[in-house]
Amino acid sequence: MKTSAPDVIFCLMFAVAASLSSFTCCRAFVRPVLASSSSGPTTSTKRNMIANILDLLGGPDKSEMVSPDEALPGRSQKMANIEGLRHYVLGNKLEEVPPNHEVAVFANGCFWGSEKGIWRLPKGIHSTAVGYCAGFTPNPTYEEACSGLTGHTEGVRVVYDPSQVSFVDILRWFWEAHDPTSGMGQGNDRGTQYRSGFYYYNDEQKALIEASKAAYEKRLEEATGTKRKITTEVAAASDYDKYGGLWYFAEPYHQQYLAKPGARPYCSAQPQGVAVPDYDEWCPFEDEALKEKHRPTLPASFWSKYAPKRGCSVVTEPNEPISESSY
Provide the annotated active-site residues: 110
Q: DSSP letters of 84-139?
A: T-B-TTT-SBSS---TT-EEEEEE-S-HHHHHHHHHTSSSSEEEEEEEEES-SSSS
Element (H, E) at 144: helix 142-146
Neighbours of 182 (CB within 10 A): 21
Residue 192 DSSP class: G
Q: Are 244 and 134 in contact (CB under 8 A)?
A: no
Spatial distance between the Cα atoms of 57 and 64, rounded to a whole number of angstroms: 17
Percent helix, percent strand, percent coil in the chain, to nearest 5: 40, 10, 50
Spatial distance between the Cα atoms of 135 and 140, rounded to a whole number of angstroms: 9
Contacts of residue 66, defined as CB under 8 A and 6 or more positions apart, other chains included, come to 60, 136, 148, 149, 150, 151, 192
Q: Are 139 and 79 in contact (CB under 8 A)?
A: yes
**Backbone φ/ψ region at 182: left (φ over 0), alpha (ψ -120 to 50), beta:** alpha
CA proximity to 106, closest of 152, 153, 151, 156: 156
